A and B are shown apart, each in its own frame.
Chain A
Amino acid sequence: DAKTTQPTSMDCAEGRAANLPCNHSTISGNEYVYWYRQIHSQGPQYIIHGLKNNETNEMASLIITEDRKSSTLILPHATLRDTAVYYCIANDYKLSFGAGTTVTVRA
């Protein structure tokens, strides 16, 4: 399993971009990077995934460094509803979650 490291928590101002870092220095060549989030009292929700290239969807953008050892999830215009725990995963074999980053969006 590729181990991931994320900050424990971070704050973000409503309307501003939120940049969530993740370190996955032991990722293997074929493993994707996945991001999920969990809003209070709900099950985790898929956000985005990528391999080498940057990816964007309606929820977020994913920037993966050229050496693939780290990535950044970008929420372009954070809203109060984006307050959640965000999980970064780098594993194609099993879906294992770490402690994640608790993101608090403040008005």
Chain B
Amino acid sequence: EAGVTQSPRYAVLQEGQAVSFWCDPISGHDTLYWYQQPRDQGPQLLVYFRDEAVIDNSQLPSDRFSAVRPKGTNSTLKIQSAKQGDTATYLCASSFDRDQDTQYFGPGTRLLVL
């Protein structure tokens, strides 16, 4: 079974530039999560979807971050105007409604904002 895939794996930006991250969850998983993981810290939830609906985006900085999952499968997270404080690894994870205690993570995108 293919795991969660993410692209790109790495991104380096100047402040003010935009960037998009793409995630393809495990087939059949209805729930998709985006996390921000600063270096040497645990993942911090940004947003999660069940199918195409946003369930919780309360931790997403809405002025610069946006996330969509239009068909309930793949998802895109976009940073409109990156800041140095956005430097982190962005992790995507997916889970299945009947398996509520397990998430499957992708390899992440490591973002460096100069």
The answer to whether A and B interact is no
B positions within 8 Å CB-CB of A? none
A positions within 8 Å CB-CB of B? none
